[in-house]
A and B are shown apart, each in its own frame.
Chain A
């Protein structure tokens, strides 16, 4: 069984890593390699869930069939890698070889509390997962339920999308159920730990990617601060082992954001950004909104800064990454004959148009946003004003306008934030209940990506300490 489990984990990991390496060339040492590994692990898991779904469609549901499909994916990734290597130029290689900054004393001092906080967060997660092995409400009632249908049903797996279980939102995409179902198929039994441990795995990938990417983009001390802020967000830690799809969704949002920021110096990263944005859409419907937000922000930014030609080139790279996943999503949506619940009439019979024109809803949602934004992380001391104060004390990075990738990432998060607001406007369920039960999760989805963007925009402690001659303390 352990051998099969190892195969189930290693094949997608290798596929994701090889595919990421195809577009993420010119490694700059261990940290760069780690960032690539974390993105690769998430991408590999996402792609393997797609192959599992395609296997269901074609009747290839046995463990051997899956093994063949996963091996084919790995071979395909290797082929893409070889093809990309042919196109890479020696000039590009020289341009990107930049030494990473050494760790400062600040970084060494920050590492200790981060390690302690991480150990406490892990202990919390392990105990929580032991107490709730099936996860909590949405986890088992939506995601694991569907995984059980996929695993137990044999040829009748489409029952998972029956309107009889309409409460479980049959139109939700399949990333999480397919990943759980795939691992169960490899193990040949329903290991109860799989859903919660998947969430834990994605939490690790999220923290790992956030830390390694900020270490590359800014500094090691800044990276440790990002890690500390994430692992000390209690709701982030708790939700990871609740069986919810938020954990992988946060990872894909973060990966897309990081890749957008990195695309300034490596444009081919946009293909990977498209892939991770597509996988976000394959994880939850909120991911579809994020995909649209990313596409919009990217094309608008490219057009405004570099004109039509660059806009077309940027959009092409992004679409090349998005396309395979969107094709799977379209295939899935065409199979499910249950409409999106957001567009259904409300309990009182109100239409979408009626809800859009009800001004009272805007006020209710604004109040909900304003009330929740300070507390959604379930912190002891709200991190939002703390980060605002930190920004004022350390100052902002100069030359942000020369970093279109960073501006694009900020635009993406802003569009998604506003987009969520309008999703609440059209939601057919009772608004107060909907806000109370989902807004904290919705805000948390954007949190890791927002934290990374925040620390990319803020000066590192080392930069803030460096006072240029003649400017005194007012240097900001």
Chain B
């Protein structure tokens, strides 16, 4: 598939041999000097191209190294991991695969309420969460945690909110 590469390399060595065998001065020599300049410029061009590319790659590698999360920080759970482990405690109180209502923390902006429901949905799947209170099971988010309420009883869990 790719065998043409050896050919140019051989051609290059032929050119190099000419420079060695036929020094400048005669007609052949003038031709060789021109060729020598061509080869020199060509090498400069290739070296410049490679250096440019390696330098750009090196700069981005340095950026990756700088932005690598420190070992201690990578051990701290992120927000969704924290939320996930909090809701995991409530999962046994929910019926498998049933639609459950979700009430966001009172007084929070709409977008944050949506975010709360979506992260709760992630944790509580396969239950489907719908906004509102008109269900047999209702999850009520509070400032301290969340409660699962039915007509007969209520189970609450205090959420760990600070990253430790």
Question: Which residues of A line the B interface, CB within 8 A?
Answer: 28, 96, 98-101, 104, 106, 110, 113, 116-117, 120-121, 123-124, 127-128, 130-134, 140-141, 144-145, 148-149, 152-154, 156-157, 159-160, 162, 164-165, 167, 216-219, 225, 228-229, 232-234, 237, 262, 265, 377-381, 383, 386-387, 389-390, 393-394, 460-475
Contact check, A473 vs B78: say whether CB atoms are below 8 A apart.
Answer: no
Q: Beyond A393-B48, A394-B49, A473-B41, is A380–B80 a contact (Cβ under 8 Å)?
A: no
Contact check, B38 vs A467: say whether CB atoms are below 8 A apart.
Answer: yes
| Cross-chain contact of B56 among A386, A472, A474 (Cβ < 8 A) | A386
User: How many Å lie between the Cα of A120 and that of B1 in the bound state?
Assistant: 34
Contact check, B52 vs A390: say whether CB atoms are below 8 A apart.
Answer: yes
Chain A residues with CB under 8 Å of B60's CB are 232-234, 377, 379-381, 383
Contact check, A145 vs B122: say whether CB atoms are below 8 A apart.
Answer: yes
Name the segment of B10-18, B145-153, B154-162 touching the other chain.
B10-18
Question: Looking across the interface, which residue of chain A has its beta carbon closest to that of B18?
Answer: A469
Q: Beyond A149-B126, A232-B60, A473-B37, is A393–B52 a contact (Cβ under 8 Å)?
A: yes
User: How many Å lie between the Cα of A394 and that of B118 in the bound state?
Assistant: 51
Chain B residues with CB under 8 Å of A468's CB are 8, 11
What is the CB-to-nearest-CB distance from B81 to chain A, in angstroms, rounded to a whole number? 6
User: How many Å lie between the Cα of A474 and that of B39 in the bound state?
Assistant: 10
Question: Looking across the interface, which residue of chain B has its beta carbon closest to that of A113?
Answer: B54
| Cross-chain contact of A462 among B9, B69, B125 (Cβ < 8 A) | B9
| Cross-chain contact of A228 among B52, B53, B70 (Cβ < 8 A) | B53
What is the CB-to-nearest-CB distance from B101 to chain A, in angstroms, rounded to a whole number? 11
Contact check, A120 vs B64: say whether CB atoms are below 8 A apart.
Answer: yes
Chain A residues with CB under 8 Å of B128's CB are 159, 162, 164-165
What is the CB-to-nearest-CB distance from A66 to chain B, in angstroms, rounded to a whole number? 19
Contact check, A463 vs B122: say whether CB atoms are below 8 A apart.
Answer: no
Say whether B61 faces chain A, with CB atoms less than 8 Å apart.
Answer: yes
User: How many Å lie between the Cα of A425 and that of B137 in the bound state?
Assistant: 42
**Known A124-B64, A379-B60, A465-B43; further 15 A-B contacts with Cβ < 8 A:** A121-B64, A124-B67, A127-B68, A127-B70, A144-B122, A148-B122, A148-B126, A153-B97, A160-B126, A229-B57, A232-B56, A390-B52, A467-B35, A469-B15, A473-B42
Main secondary structure of the interface of B (DSSP, over half): helix
Say whether B20 faces chain A, with CB atoms less than 8 Å apart.
Answer: no
Q: Beyond A127-B69, A130-B75, A467-B15, is A237–B64 a contact (Cβ under 8 Å)?
A: yes
Say whether B110 faces chain A, with CB atoms less than 8 Å apart.
Answer: no
Chain A residues with CB under 8 Å of B59's CB are 379-381
Q: How many pairs of A and B residues are in contact by the CB < 8 Å rule?
A: 211
Some 21 contacts from A to B, beta carbons below 8 A apart, are A124-B64, A128-B68, A131-B76, A133-B77, A145-B121, A149-B126, A154-B97, A159-B128, A164-B99, A164-B128, A216-B1, A234-B60, A237-B64, A390-B49, A461-B46, A461-B50, A467-B35, A467-B42, A470-B35, A473-B37, A473-B42
Question: Which residues of B line the A interface, CB within 8 A?
Answer: 1-3, 5-6, 8-9, 11-12, 14-15, 18, 34-35, 37-39, 41-43, 45-46, 48-50, 52-65, 67-71, 73-78, 80-81, 84, 96-97, 99, 118, 121-122, 125-126, 128-130
| Cross-chain contact of A145 among B11, B53, B125 (Cβ < 8 A) | B125
What is the CB-to-nearest-CB distance from B142 to chain A, in angstroms, rounded to a whole number? 23
Question: Looking across the interface, which residue of chain A has its beta carbon closest to that of B53?
Answer: A390
